[in-house]
Structure formats: structure tokens, C-alpha cells
Amino acid sequence: MDRRAAFTVIELLVVIGVIALLLAITFPAFSAIRRNSKIRKTRAVVETLTTAAASYANDYGLYPPAEFAPDGADRGNRSLVLLLDRRGGRSWPYLPSAFYGDDGHVEGPVLLDAWERPFVYFDTSVMKADTSHAYTLQGNPAVGPIEGDDGFYNFGRCQIWSCGPNERNDGGRDLHTKQADDLANFKIRD
């Protein structure tokens, strides 16, 4: 029997070990690429929703009211879907065709980010500091509009944000840390 015609068990183990090592090195890189891709996609959707809400405001003179939908989880998001789905405004359709199904209506009862979590939406044009505007958010206790020392951020317009990669509401913060990674249409001034 010629010993050079086959691999030994040790040679096979070395090859398997090298392959495992290469996979262990490249897996985190692919995870980071996937995470960054979801962040870019979600930021683009936040921009799209902000533009859609502004187009609605241009047609009707006010941003889509966050209290339009009945009480319940994701109320602001559901209100946004119902109002942006309405036909009739001169700027309609407010969203790109990718948001609409075959029936011509916005797909789903809520708009979801890349992590399949609902966006948070508030129209700040009608808000007063002495009134509660909070509602429950899927998987989070309650959310409310973000207020700074000078009043609500984006006052007179709207606040839209995603809970980001950690899928936890951090109050619209985008501070580039692992603890506060929300993707919003406004910046928190600390």
C-alpha cells in the first residue's frame, strides 16, 4: 500500500482547523457588514418617512396627527400609515412604490425598520409640554416625544425614529454608542 496516496488523519484535522479559523475570523466581519447595511437602510427609510410626512403637511397644512389611530400599541406609527395611505392629496402617493402592496395600499398596519420593529412617530406641531402624548411601543414600555431644554425637538414638524440595532427605545438618541443607538430624524443636543 502506498502511503502517499491518501491523507492522514492529522492532515485532515489540520485542514479542518484552518477552515474553522478562517470562518471564525470572517464571521464578525460579515456580521458587521450586515448590521451596517441595516443601519443605512433604516436611516434611508427615516428620511423617506420624514419627506412623506412633510409632503402630507404641504397638502393638508398639518403633519399627520399621531393621535389619529385608536389607542393602543404603536399608535403614532399606525396613524402615519393610515394618513399616508389616503388618496386625494396633490402629492399622493406620499411613499415610494416599494411601501405599497398590489392593492395600492401601504403594506401592513405599521411601518417596520430593518430589525422588524415599528418606527416611533410623533407630530410635534400640536404638542404642549403639559399634555401627555405617550403610547406603548411593541416590546418597550412607553414612548413619548423627545423634549429638550428649549421644547420638543423638531417642534412644528415631526419626530420619527427607529429603536436601532439594540431594538430598545433609547429616546431617539443617536450618540454612536452601543447603549443609545436609535436612528432619528433629529439630533439630541446634550
**pLDDT value at position 112?**
92
Contact 125, 62 (CB under 8 A): yes
Residue 35, φ and ψ in degrees, nearest 5: -60, -45
**pLDDT value at position 92?**
85
Residue ranges in the chain whose pLDDT is less than 50: 175-176, 178
**pLDDT value at position 57?**
92
Contact 162, 46 (CB under 8 A): yes
Query: In terms of C-beta distances under 8 Å and separation of at least 24 residues, what long-range contacts does 90-97 make, across chains too?
Result: 90/59, 91/55, 91/56, 91/58, 91/59, 92/59, 94/52, 94/53, 94/55, 94/56, 95/48, 95/49, 95/52, 96/48
Q: C-alpha cell of 46?
A: 427615516
pTM of the model: 0.79
Angle between helices 75-84 and 9-60 (to 10 degrees): 60
**pLDDT value at position 20?**
93
**pLDDT value at position 167?**
78
**pLDDT value at position 56?**
93
**pLDDT value at position 7?**
78
**pLDDT value at position 175?**
47
Q: Where are the alpha helices (DSSP H) in the chain?
A: 9-60, 75-84
| Domain range summary for the chain, segments of one domain joined by + | 40-184
pLDDT tens sequence across 72-122: 888 889 999 999 988 777 888 899 988 988 888 888 899 999 999 899 999
